[in-house]
């Protein structure tokens, strides 16, 4: 029954809408309120082994790579361990340095992506410690890794990944919380994160309730042939994922940029025909992000602000509102309005949402 459309116009729409329950499944039994940490039994690492990790590297392709980047940011922020993400498709070709005290995380919805599987095999050949973050149980990557975190998003049919992505974000938040709590993340910060994670499904449900308003914004900008997606630090992976969604299903060119990098070149592209989707969480970088909007406006570029802050009236041409959560979880929460935006824009253009041209759900060729 999971594979049926059950009244939805497309699988992508169904899967976007399923996110609150999918996320609840990922969190189920994994949040430990008493010790303000996460329980991830599948990774098979006790506290001592967790403490011996000196670095974390996420490997995945496409959206799974962007999710890894989001995860790496959380690991750095909460565990204060150096962390990064790399496209799994590049990894084996550059003769990577594999370190014993690095935890490698192979990220894949399908668990069948050839490039990611090959990266895992290269790691294992070199004796690297690798765990999986996989949605499909029994898949090749899951089996090759032998241990890890299942995403529990349920079947994802649409080529454009949605609920698997948000579940990746939540699973990496739990991994970062766990790594943080065996180090210096305080019990009060741990408790704040546990509470925020358990509220996240309801916050996503709130975003879903605003679908009509987001659809209107998408309609308003559906004649654009190209767009910028602007993020900064935490929301940079979110901007990349948002741009990816738009490209995949609408065929509108979208490029993600870090806000402060705009002035180093890409501002030259801005004019009245090129809208910028600007992510503006109400965090310590708010004033910087407001300045980014000013820079874009000054060049005549339309601005679509995605925000949980109070913006000065008239600053942005369109505003998509997001509920407040803890700032570290904004990168996950802000992904959902971008999925809805891309979906409605693609619909407006009459695209084949679930089966975009030239793409396959899982890329089993190198």
Nearer to ligand AGP, 65 or 228 (CB): 65
Nearer to ligand AGP, 144 or 248 (CB): 248
Among 10, 17, 19, 63, binds ligand AGP (CB under 6 A): 63
Strand bridging mode 129-134 / 148-150: parallel
Segment 266-295, which members bind ligand AGP (CB under 6 A)?
A: none
Task: Indicate whether 61 belongs to the interface with ligand AGP (CB under 6 A).
Answer: yes
Segment 152-191, which members bind ligand AGP (CB under 6 A)?
A: 159-161
Task: Tell me how crowded residue 223 is: count the other CB atoms within 10 A of its CB.
Answer: 11
Nearer to ligand AGP, 64 or 171 (CB): 64
Q: Which stretch binds ligand AGP (CB under 6 A): 46-54, 60-68, 255-263, 295-303?
A: 60-68
364 contact partners, CB below 8 Å, separation of at least 6: 112, 113, 114
Q: Which stretch binds ligand AGP (CB under 6 A): 56-64, 95-103, 269-277, 291-299?
A: 56-64
In angstroms, what is the minimal distance from the CB of 270 to ligand AGP?
27
Angle at 75 between CA 69 and CA 43, to 5 degrees: 95
Q: Which two tokens stand for residue 223?
A: 């004649």
Distance of CA 38 to the CA centre of its chain: 20
Q: Could you tell me which residues are beta bridge partners of residue 276?
A: 228, 303
Residue with tokens 């990577």: 96
Residue with tokens 């949040």: 31
Rounded to 10 deg, the angle between the 63-74 and 236-250 helix axes is 170
Instruction: Write each residue from 99 to 128 as x if it is in contact with ligand AGP (CB under 6 A), else as -, in one continuous string.
Output: ---------xxx--x--x------------
Task: Indicate whether 196 belongs to the interface with ligand AGP (CB under 6 A).
Answer: no
Residue showing the smallest CB distance to ligand AGP in the complex: 62
Q: Which two tokens stand for residue 170?
A: 């939540």
Angle at 70 between CA 69 and CA 74, to 5 degrees: 115
Is residue 361 among the annotated active site residues? Answer: yes
Nearer to ligand AGP, 136 or 218 (CB): 136
Instruction: Write each residue from 232 to 251 as x if it is in contact with ligand AGP (CB under 6 A), else as -, in one continuous string.
Output: ----------------x---
Segment 346-365, which members bind ligand AGP (CB under 6 A)?
A: 362-363
Nearer to ligand AGP, 142 or 180 (CB): 142
In angstroms, what is the minimal distance from the CB of 366 to ligand AGP?
12
Nearer to ligand AGP, 202 or 352 (CB): 352
Task: Indicate whether 19 belongs to the interface with ligand AGP (CB under 6 A).
Answer: no
206-213 contacts at long range (C-beta below 8 A, 24 or more positions apart)? 206/323, 207/322, 207/323, 207/333, 207/336, 207/337, 207/340, 208/16, 208/17, 208/19, 208/20, 208/336, 208/340, 210/320, 210/321, 210/337, 211/340, 213/320, 213/321
In angstroms, what is the minimal distance from the CB of 69 to ligand AGP?
13
- What are the residue ranges of helices labelled H in the chain? 11-17, 19-27, 47-51, 63-74, 88-91, 114-125, 140-145, 163-181, 187-209, 211-220, 236-250, 286-298, 330-333, 335-348
In angstroms, what is the minimal distance from the CB of 231 to ligand AGP?
17
Dist CA 164 CA 166 (whole Å): 6
Of residues 220, 297, 355, 361, which has the active-site annotation?
361
Interface residue list for ligand AGP (CB under 6 A)? 61-64, 108-110, 113, 116, 159-161, 248, 362-363
Active site residues: 361
């Amino acid at each position: 029954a999971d594979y049926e459309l059950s009244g939805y116009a497309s699988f992508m729409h169904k899967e976007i809408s399923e996110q609150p329950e999918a996320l609840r499944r990922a969190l189920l039994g994994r949040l430990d309120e008493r010790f303000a940490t996460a329980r991830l039994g599948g990774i098979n690492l006790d506290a001592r082994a967790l403490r011996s990790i000196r670095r974390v590297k996420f490997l995945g392709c496409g959206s799974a790579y962007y999710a890894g980047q989001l995860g790496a940011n959380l690991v750095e922020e909460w565990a204060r361990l150096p962390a990064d993400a790399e496209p799994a498709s590049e990894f084996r070709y550059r003769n990577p340095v594999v370190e014993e005290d690095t935890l490698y995380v192979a990220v894949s919805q399908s668990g069948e992506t050839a490039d990611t599987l090959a990266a895992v095999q290269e790691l294992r050949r070199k004796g690297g410690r690798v765990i999986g973050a996989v949605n499909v149980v029994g898949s090749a990557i899951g089996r090759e890794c032998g241990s890890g975190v299942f995403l529990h998003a349920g079947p994802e049919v649409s080529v454009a990944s949605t609920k698997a992505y948000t579940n990746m974000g939540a699973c990496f938040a739990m991994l970062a919380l766990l790594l943080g709590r065996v180090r210096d993340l305080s019990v009060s910060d741990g408790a704040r994160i546990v509470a925020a994670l358990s509220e996240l499904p309801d916050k996503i449900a709130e975003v879903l309730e605003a679908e009509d308003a987001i659809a209107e914004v998408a309609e308003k900008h559906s004649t654009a042939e190209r767009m910028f997606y602007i993020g900064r630090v935490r929301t940079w992976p979110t901007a990349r994922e948002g741009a990816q969604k738009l490209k995949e299903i609408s065929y509108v060119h979208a490029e993600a940029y870090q806000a402060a990098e705009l002035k180093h070149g890409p501002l030259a592209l801005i004019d009245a025909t090129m809208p910028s989707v600007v992510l503006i969480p109400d965090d310590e970088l708010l004033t910087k992000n407001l300045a980014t909007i000013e820079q874009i406006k000054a060049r005549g570029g339309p601005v679509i602000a995605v925000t949980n802050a109070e913006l000065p009236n008239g600053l942005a041409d369109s505003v998509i509102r997001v509920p407040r959560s803890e700032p570290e979880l904004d990168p996950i929460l802000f992904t959902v309005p971008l999925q809805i935006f891309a979906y409605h824009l693609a619909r407006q253009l009459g695209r084949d949402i679930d089966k975009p041209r030239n793409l396959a759900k899982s890329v089993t060729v190198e």
